[in-house]
Amino acid sequence: MRKWFFGAILLLIVGIVFQLGLLMYAMYVFLGLLVVSRYLARQWTDNLVVTREANTSTAEIGDKVAIVVNLYNKGRSRVTWVLVEDSVPRYALLSKPPRIKLSGKRTQLLSIKGGGRESLLYQMTFHTHGYYQVGPTLVESGDLFGLHRNYRIATEPIYLLVYPKVVPLLGYDVSSRRPVGEIVLQHRLFEDPTRIAGVRSYQAGDPLNRVHWKATARTGELHSRVYESSSLAGATILLDYHEQNYPGRGEPDRSELAVTLAVSLTNAICLLGQQVGMITNARDAADRIREEGYKLEFRTREDAQKDFGMLPENTRLHPVRIETARGPEQFSRILETSARLELSDGLTFPQLVSESLSHLPRDASVVAILGDVNEETAIALGNLRRSGYAVSVVLILQNEHEFSQQAGLLMAQNLEVRHVVDEASVSDFCSSRVLV
């Protein structure tokens, strides 16, 4: 537009200098046309009131969510043409396989009379979990001659939370070796005063509430109770979600499978009434949006881009943590957090273990869900086991050769290793054979 103005003014000056009346008249008309065009283009976009509606804010994998974009022309004159585009996450469309599928039109060229209304309707089908941004909406209009165009971001985005799949764990055997349930500790780190294992002679320093008075009265000598060692109930899940451990050739299937396993295991533990928690090096999408602002996914029309400031503190090096606890709300808390998890380039898994030591309760087993294993990861988990924790490892690997190699690193640390290759193997991984 500026080039047209400068060109017209230059030609007008030439006409004035050389007294070219026809050229001067033409440039006057042309400049007037440019001013009117600029005014009309701005009025048309400013007079449009745009709103977006979704039939739900949460969904499950496989669900369809309907999105309606409503446009209202509050002006009296007709908006001759307006191009409306509702933004959707481009990465979710371009991934193979795609994370979402669209049906209907999210981009449309419309003409709206004064006081009139128009709508765009499309549907999104979700194939993976996530915290998906829908919007903002970009409206583009201009004059009839194509001399000037005006762009405006007309709506703020909305966010749809898609929960990961919860697979029932089949073949659950209480007596089998498994990463959940009660496991007697090998070392007496704790004792359970409600479970008496026997009686022994009194030793100096035994508290009075430990004295077995009936045995003392019967024998005439002081005796003390011996309690059974505490048991492990429930689990703390350590989910590795570092992007380097989920290479592109297996994505998004492997990372989706890891989250599916985590929430399925959480569901099984909660149904048993045991404690459960989760710690991961993933990025919480809600934190990313809070820090970076929403994304503009338009391919062109840079004039419509906005600047968004980041918050001074970036928390990508902080683990996402849900403390180990009991209760019916614990599953909902972990499920909602898991739905927002994204692969991160922050903490590596050994760093995650180090950061999480003070938050790992000793009365719960530790289940590590890994996409890849190196020597540092195996040593970190081995040190955790040697510190007194009951540690089990689940590998998300589809290649049997890779599994054999990486399981060897873990078995060298005397760790239990399980294998999950697809969604079908999630249901019975608890009863599958454990490598030791």
* Segment 246-261, tens digit of pLDDT: 887 777 889 999 999 9
Residues 145 and 71 in one domain: yes
Residue 183: band (very low, low, confident or very high) from pLDDT cuts 50, 70, 90:
very low
Q: What is the pTM of this model?
A: 0.74
- Structural domain boundaries, residue 34: 2-45
Same domain, residue pair 315 and 396: yes
Cα 237 to Cα 189: distance, rounded to the nearest angstrom: 21
Q: What's the CATH code of the domain at 50?
A: 2.60.40.10
Q: What is the pLDDT of residues 201-228, one digit of tens each?
A: 888 888 888 888 888 888 888 898 886 5
For residue 159, what pLDDT is reported?
92
The number of folded domains in the chain is: 4
- Tell me the pLDDT of the chain averaged across its residues: 80
**One domain, residues 254 and 145:** no
pLDDT in tens, 111-153: 888 889 999 999 999 999 999 999 889 888 876 666 667 788 8
Does 37 lie in the same domain as 119?
no
| 249 lies in the same domain as 395 | yes
Q: What is the DSSP string of 11-41?
A: HHHHHHHTT-HHHHHHHHHHHHHHHHHHHHH
Same structural domain, 149 and 292: no
Q: Which of 107, 142, 163 is the last residue of a domain?
A: 163
Query: Is 173 inside any structural domain?
Result: no
One domain for residues 203 and 292: no
Q: What is the pLDDT of residue 12?
A: 61
User: Do both 202 and 327 map to the same domain?
Assistant: no
Q: What pLDDT was estimated at residue 241?
A: 94
Query: Does residue 40 sit in the same domain as residue 51?
Result: no
Look at residue 27 and tell me whether its pLDDT is greater than 80: no
CATH code of the domain covering residue 249: 3.40.50.410
Worst-scoring range by mean pLDDT, 175-184, 235-244, 287-296, 388-397?
Answer: 175-184
Q: Do 105 and 247 reside in the same domain of the chain?
A: no
Q: What pLDDT is recorded for position 181?
A: 46
| Strands, sheet with 100-104, edge to edge from the N-terminal-most edge strand | 48-54, 64-73, 117-126, 100-104
Distance CA 80, CA 73 (A): 11
Q: Tell which residue, 406, 416, 420, has the closest CA to residue 373.
A: 406
Q: Evaluate whether residue 305 is within a structural domain.
A: no
Q: What is the pLDDT of residue 186?
A: 44
Share of the chain above pLDDT 90, in %: 28
Are 127 and 275 contained in the same domain? no
Residue 180 included in any domain = no
Does 434 or 21 have the greater pLDDT score? 21
The answer to whether residue 168 sits within a structural domain is: no
Q: Are 156 and 54 within one domain?
A: yes
Length of the chain: 436
